[in-house]
Amino acid sequence: MTERKIADLDLRQIAESGQCFRMVQKRENVYALTAFGKYLEIEQNGDMFSFSCTEEAFGEIWEDYLDLHTDYGAIKRLVDAEDTYLLEAVREGWGIRILRQDLWEMIVTFLVSQNNNISRIRKSIELLCSTVGTEQYTEEGLRYDTFPEPEAIAHAGMEVLSTLGLGYRDKYILGAAQAVLDGSLDLEMLRLADYETAHKELVKQYGIGKKVADCICLFGLYHIEAFPVDTHVKKILEAHYPGGFPHERYKGYAGILQQYMFYHDLNAAA
């Protein structure tokens, strides 16, 4: 067990923010997540957090995963005092952070996300993991499934993927797995690339458009300047920023502000 006092972090908001689909509520104030082949439970009581892992594992995996080295309070204080919409969005989503997630998982996840909602995406990802991923157990005997590697997805093929209710997205997922295996989608190169280069390479791939590429850049590569524009964000821009979002003012971290905006609109529509 590891305990930390952490500001600017709310598990419920992150679980519902549309960036992470393997973080689920287990019971009141407790969320479970699976990432990098590991399973973790986190209990939140205000700004105190208990993690079901050793101090070593926390330092090696989860501290970085939760982006705890970034001062989100400082970023929020930079919001234009006259931008009442953005201030409201920040207040509502105050505990959202950009998780540093696995690149391959984010490629598949945001291929699944196309023309989809959070509930269906979550179900699709869990079914993919339980069908094609690897079954694992914690020291306490709790079963969980890892996210399937490209080899496992390619081996499963359309014969399996077509049974998972992914619709037309199954072809994109299989294509991505095959591209990783034949080298035309180079994950290591993407990890080392800058935002513009990574985005340009991603949109070359079958099924990846500009918005999905931006989601992968933001959530899988931590390019926090990426600013995905989906139907929610497009509506926000039309209503509150008809002259365009002030990217220059927020250069280098606009993607964090986009998450506050997206979450605010998601809740408004609920």
pLDDT, tens digit, 9 for 90 and up, residues 46-71:
999 999 999 999 999 999 999 999 99
Q: What is the pLDDT of residue 270?
A: 59
Helices (H), ranges, 146-205:
150-161, 169-182, 187-192, 195-202
Q: What is the pLDDT of residue 138?
A: 85
212 and 113 belong to one structural domain: yes
Residue after which a domain boundary falls, among 69, 92, 115: 92
As a whole number of Å, the end-to-end CA separation of the chain is 36
Separation CA 42–CA 78 (nearest Å): 30
Q: What is the pLDDT of residue 141?
A: 87
Q: What is the pLDDT of residue 115?
A: 84
124 and 215 belong to one structural domain: yes
45 and 113 belong to one structural domain: no
57 and 136 belong to one structural domain: no
Q: Is residue 180 part of a domain?
A: yes
Angle among Cα 230, 153, 33 to the nearest 5 degrees reads: 60
**Torsion, Cα of 174, 176, 182, 183 (10° steps):** -170
Q: Is residue 193 part of a domain?
A: yes
Q: Is residue 242 part of a domain?
A: no
Q: What is the pLDDT of residue 116?
A: 86
Angle among Cα 257, 219, 143 to the nearest 5 degrees reads: 130
Host H or E run for residue 87? helix 84-92
In the annotation, is 171 catalytic?
no
83 and 118 belong to one structural domain: no
**Among 211, 234, 235, 251, which one carries the catalytic annotation?**
211
Q: Is residue 171 part of a domain?
A: yes
Q: Is residue 260 part of a domain?
A: no
Q: What is the pLDDT of residue 247?
A: 94
Q: Is residue 243 part of a domain?
A: no
Residue after which a domain boundary falls, among 92, 119, 142: 92
Q: Is residue 21 part of a domain?
A: yes
Looking at the structure of the chain, the number of domains it has is 2
Q: For residue 173, what are the domain limits?
A: 103-220
Spell out, as residue ranges, where the chain has pLDDT lower than 70: 269-270
Q: Is residue 245 part of a domain?
A: no
Instruction: Enter the DSSP assignment of 41.
Output: E
Angle among Cα 165, 169, 171 to the nearest 5 degrees reads: 105
Q: What is the pLDDT of residue 267?
A: 82
